[in-house]
Amino acid sequence: MLTNLSIKNYALIDDLNVSFPTGFVTITGETGAGKSILLGALSLVLGKRADLSSLRNKEQKCIVEAEFEIDNYGLQPFFKENDLDYDRQTILRREIHPSGKSRAFINDSPVTLDILSSLGNSLVDVHSQHQTLRLTENEFQLKVVDALANNDNLLDDYRQVLDGYKAAQRDLRSLLDFQSQAIKEHDYNSFLLHELQSTDLREGLQIELEEEYEQLSNVESILETLSQSDQLLNDEQLGILTRLEELKRAVQNISGYGNNFESLYGRIQSVMIELDDLSSEMDILRGGVEVNPQRLQEVNTQLQMLYDLQKKHQAANIQELIAIREALSEKVGKVENLEAQITSAQKAVEDKEAVLHKLAVSLRENRNAVIPKLKNMLQDKLSHLGMPSATFKIVLEASDNFRLNGRDDLIFQFSANKGSDYGELKKVASGGELSRIMLTIKSILAKYERLPTMIFDEIDTGVSGEISNTMANIMEQMSRSMQVFSITHLPQVASKGETQFKVFKEEFDGKTMTRIKKLTEDERVVELAEMLGGKNMSDSALAHAKQLLQVP
């Protein structure tokens, strides 16, 4: 419920702060006093687009704050989803700056206008004769039927399955799109993959081939060097090993004279062993080196193929070629296994569609069961609102599409007079009739679900005193379970309010300002008397006002 409204620098309002109680609140005032301004300011804080022309002082910002008690609205998920601090006393604030910049806040946290508007729609429902269009919308009409059918839990299940159904459809669509594109690329990718697979790509291969190529290309130089090295080591006269043998024998003669000489002899032996091993290894290497033009050509061909593949795939090394091969293998494999995936995805869609259809049928059955009850309730209530011949024809038809609220089209037709043809509400009902129908529907909804604060803006315009009295009774009954405001020019309606506020103008320092005040019992008597008989109140008007308020 709306507990407090603060407005600064908006239209004819300089600085206004008013607290509102629970129950049925009526707001009265002369035409042009500023009731629409008050409603306009409230609309701003509920998310309506800002208009710079609404600033009273063009050099100062406009601030509108509305405080709500939201404990019973179940809005915790909304606050969590939008990363906002939840507080049972929640404040919505809107600032309009002279520059034209607009800012919105929920509990002092900046929010977008869409978030503010979304929360505002859950907190306040403003209804006037000019805002009955929603009544003619299929979505709203189904909401009314669902409230009577107690379809809330079933709709939650349906929407959860619908989300899964749409996700399954997206997955299938993605696979089909991939298949369409992949088939075009499949042959080329298969060719590239075969090309890479025909080469034994493995880490270190390129280094091995390049080393082998260098050896085969320089075999003569290698053999010549190894032969020279063998001669240097093993020549009978001047070979290193021959001379080292002489050195060994010479040092052996003195090795017994001390540890130093024995160590020296040992080191010479070690060098001889190492050089002897080196000589043997060079013999082996020399035996393994041969002139092989055919192998040289093979290695050269393999290397060139590697270089060509790297250039073709813009790969820096063989590791990148291996990664490309694996990626191509995955792509080709996906296409080859795609039919099985598509079949599985199609089955998932069909399974979810079957569950969804079953839930949609249950929704339709529940709706059809309560439609006669809704028709009777509407017609009965409207007969007391000056529409005794009003009748409805409400029919459900199965739709081809799964929508957010089921698979039904609701045909909601109306006839105001006996013998008149049925037609769509928006085509055959007048503005006054639509207002009474909307009031009736809202009063029915109030019995079946928790509605936000309701503001009826002069919906009683143009109706008779007796009918306005009935409308006031309906609003008073609604206010027993919710907060209801009625902005009215009719004393019969104003008198039904538990609390009455008056909107008026006053001049201060040569400027006209809109004010609002809560009326005392005596002030209510005077206000109602003026509404009945004008400024020059007669005794009968005062007596009638007291009678309406049931005061002595």
Domains of the chain with bracketed CATH: 1-129+452-519 (3.40.50.300), 181-336 (no CATH), 521-552 (no CATH)
What percent of the chain has a predicted confidence (pLDDT) above 70? 99
pLDDT above 60: residue 414:
yes
Q: What's residue 183's pLDDT?
A: 74
Taking the chain, what is the end-to-end CA distance rounded to the nearest angstrom?
32
Chain-centroid distance, C-alpha 17 = 36
Q: What is the mean pLDDT of residues 347-355?
A: 96
Q: What's residue 20's pLDDT?
A: 95
Q: What's residue 292's pLDDT?
A: 76
pLDDT, tens digit, 9 for 90 and up, residues 85-143: 999 999 999 999 988 889 999 999 999 999 999 999 889 988 876 555 567 677 888 98
pLDDT, tens digit, 9 for 90 and up, residues 361-370: 999 999 999 9
pLDDT, tens digit, 9 for 90 and up, residues 187-235: 777 777 778 777 777 777 778 787 878 878 888 888 888 888 888 888 7
State the pLDDT confidence band at 382, using cuts at 50, 70 and 90.
very high
Scanning the structure block, which residue is given the tokens 């009945």? 532
Q: What is the mean pLDDT of residues 372-390?
A: 92
pLDDT above 70: residue 529:
yes
Q: Is the separation of the CB atoms in 523 and 542 below 8 Å?
A: no
Q: What's residue 212's pLDDT?
A: 74
Of 93, 96, 87, residue with least CA distance to 42: 93
Angle between helices 152-197 and 318-383 (to 10 degrees): 160
Q: For residue 280, give every residue at least 6 positions away whose Cβ sits within 8 Å of its Cβ, in sequence order, or none.
A: none
Q: What's residue 537's pLDDT?
A: 77
State the pLDDT confidence band at 475, using cuts at 50, 70 and 90.
very high
Q: What's residue 89's pLDDT?
A: 95
DSSP single-letter state for residue 66: E
Max mean pLDDT among 99-103, 243-247, 328-332, 343-347 falls in: 343-347
Q: For residue 536, give every residue at least 6 positions away whose Cβ sits within 8 Å of its Cβ, in sequence order, or none.
A: none
pLDDT, tens digit, 9 for 90 and up, residues 127-141: 876 555 567 677 888
Question: What is the secondary structure of 433-490 as a DSSP string?
Answer: HHHHHHHHHHHHHHHHS---EEEEESTTTT--HHHHHHHHHHHHHHTTTS-EEEE-S-
Q: What's residue 197's pLDDT?
A: 78
pLDDT above 90: residue 33:
no
How confident is the prediction for the chain on average, in pLDDT? 87
**What are 396's strand-pairing partners?**
410
Q: What's residue 536's pLDDT?
A: 77
Q: What is the mean pLDDT of residues 279-296?
A: 80
Q: What's residue 390's pLDDT?
A: 92
Q: What's residue 294's pLDDT?
A: 86
Q: What's residue 170's pLDDT?
A: 95
Q: Is the separation of the CB atoms in 459 and 471 below 8 Å?
A: yes
